[in-house]
């Protein structure tokens, strides 16, 4: 390999930028995919098709919606505070994007003698940084409600502020228990602490902390059954009632970006991050990569067959192109897997890169499962009353969080884990 390419691959700047790209792909480019998951998931749970006309599986529908939203008039109500009205959605989106900076997408790997990691910023207080930055999101929704000069928007902003502050306490208490369990506030060390058997994962080590964190994360993201700040049956649309066009789109994207970072954080804290059960050595992940390509190739073949069924060909357009792309992806997966298995002289740097890709894919697969849980909960449970929501946060989750910290501290002193 040329020396200039080696110098690029062994630069921390290269892997930091790649980590930033992965995070922004998850938070920005992934939003149309999340919308498709949401709508198709709602259709599955409610026994109806969901969007299936614009492109194969309705994949083009969110793009059409985004274009429609972008060309709408950007309306600012009379009497609104124009500067704060424009600033509020920017705060929400910026907070959601900034938190991805400390997520470790892979473990340490050796490449041409250099130890590297797919992470933008390796902070000694990584999880505290996420909690601190995420707490700023309350300013965006509160300012949006106040600056709109609308009583329903103001009620939504007040609800959002009270709800997010209340449930931040429960979430922080659940995270404190994980601090005690892993003896660290660095996310990469927490993931390393979950290496080995599957029962080393945080969800099995601290199940009560997981339940508290999950409930608080739904409330922080304003998701059903905790979507009182935008309850359409009570306050029309809440804090973003007076927003339209691209500014409303920022709120919409910010909600899904918040869900994405919450799902990633849940995977990191409670499901081992990029860890696979019973694999302790990071170098071993490169050998797993070809085995992941086999089910990926089979999945592409099944989807290619499904898109070309006569029933689907009548309902959608572009199925032949999608099927061709899926067949090409299946062939590429098969060729790469065969090359890694049967080519006898695979260089060490290639296995290292395969290990990085494997760890990112493992984390993404776990992320999809947790994200699907957000959708499942939304379309299964009814909305709570506001007094029930506050009672749950202050009278149930807060005492449970304190009790969980005591139990975790006692177990750690007794040598748990």
Per-residue pLDDT, 254? 84
The answer as to whether 344 is a domain residue is no
Per-residue pLDDT, 211? 93
pLDDT tens-digit readout, 147-163: 888 888 888 888 888 88
Per-residue pLDDT, 353? 87
The answer as to whether 43 is a domain residue is yes
The answer as to whether 322 is a domain residue is no
Per-residue pLDDT, 265? 92
Contact indicator for 363, 105 with CB cutoff of 8 Å: yes
For the cut 80, the answer to whether the pLDDT of residue 390 exceeds it is yes
Contact indicator for 356, 106 with CB cutoff of 8 Å: yes
The answer as to whether 347 is a domain residue is no
Q: Could you list the beta-strand ranges (E) of 304-367.
A: none
The answer as to whether 380 is a domain residue is yes
pLDDT tens-digit readout, 281-290: 766 888 888 8
For the cut 90, the answer to whether the pLDDT of residue 266 exceeds it is yes
pLDDT tens-digit readout, 23-49: 888 888 888 888 888 888 888 888 888
Q: Residue 177: enclosing H or E segment and its boundaries?
A: helix 151-182
pTM here is 0.89
Residue whose C-alpha is closest to residue 226's, from 242, 214, 243, 240: 214
For the cut 60, the answer to whether the pLDDT of residue 95 exceeds it is yes
The answer as to whether 25 is a domain residue is yes
The answer as to whether 356 is a domain residue is no
Per-residue pLDDT, 192? 87
The answer as to whether 188 is a domain residue is yes
How many domains does the chain divide into?
A: 1
Tokens of 37: 């998951």
- Torsion angle, CA of 39/236/97/208, rounded to 10 degrees? -80
Question: Percent of the chain having pLDDT more than 90?
Answer: 14
For the cut 60, the answer to whether the pLDDT of residue 180 exceeds it is yes
Q: Who wins on pLDDT, 255 or 366?
A: 366
For the cut 60, the answer to whether the pLDDT of residue 314 exceeds it is no
Domain extent at residue 126: 3-276+373-413
Per-residue pLDDT, 361? 92
Per-residue pLDDT, 344? 67
pLDDT-derived band of residue 368, with 50, 70 and 90 as boundaries? very high
């Amino acid at each position: 390999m040329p020396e200039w390419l080696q110098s690029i691959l062994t630069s921390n700047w290269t892997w930091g930028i790649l980590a930033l790209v992965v995070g922004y792909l998850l938070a920005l480019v992934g939003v149309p995919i999340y919308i498709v998951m949401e709508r198709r998931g709602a259709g599955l749970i409610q026994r109806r098709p969901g969007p299936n006309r614009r492109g194969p599986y309705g994949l083009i529908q969110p793009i059409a919606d985004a274009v429609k939203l972008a060309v709408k008039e950007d309306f600012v109500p009379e009497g609104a505070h124009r500067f704060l009205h424009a600033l509020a959605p920017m705060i929400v989106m910026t907070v959601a994007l900034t938190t991805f900076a400390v997520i470790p997408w892979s473990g340490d790997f050796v490449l041409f003698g250099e130890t590297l990691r797919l992470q933008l910023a390796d902070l000694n207080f990584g999880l505290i940084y996420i909690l601190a930055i995420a707490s700023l999101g309350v300013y965006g929704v509160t300012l949006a409600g106040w600056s709109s000069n609308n009583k329903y928007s103001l009620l939504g902003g007040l609800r959002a502020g009270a709800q997010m502050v209340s449930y931040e306490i429960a979430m922080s208490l659940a995270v404190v228990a994980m601090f005690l369990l892993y003896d660290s506030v660095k996310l990469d060390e927490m993931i390393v602490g979950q290496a080995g058997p599957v029962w080393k994962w945080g969800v099995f080590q601290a199940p009560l902390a997981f339940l508290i964190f999950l409930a608080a994360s739904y409330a922080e993201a304003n998701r059903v059954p905790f979507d009182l700040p935008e309850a359409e049956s009570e306050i029309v649309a809440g804090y973003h009632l007076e927003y339209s066009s691209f500014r409303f789109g920022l709120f919409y994207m910010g909600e899904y970006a918040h869900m994405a970072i919450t799902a990633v954080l849940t995977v990191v804290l409670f499901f081992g991050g990029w860890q696979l059960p019973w694999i302790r050595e990071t170098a071993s992940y490169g050998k797993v990569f070809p085995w992941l390509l086999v089910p990926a190739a089979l999945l592409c073949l099944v989807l290619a067959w499904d898109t070309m069924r006569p029933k689907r060909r009548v309902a959608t357009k572009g199925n032949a192109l999608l099927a061709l792309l899926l067949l090409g992806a299946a062939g590429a997966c098969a060729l790469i897997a065969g090359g890694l298995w049967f080519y006898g002289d695979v260089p060490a740097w290639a296995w290292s890169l395969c290990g990085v890709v494997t760890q990112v894919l493992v984390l993404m697969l776990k992320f999809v499962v947790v994200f699907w849980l957000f959708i499942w909960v939304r379309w299964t449970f009814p909305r709570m009353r506001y007094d029930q929501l506050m009672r749950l946060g202050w009278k149930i989750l807060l005492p449970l969080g304190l009790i969980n910290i005591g139990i975790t501290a006692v177990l750690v002193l007794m040598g748990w884990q």
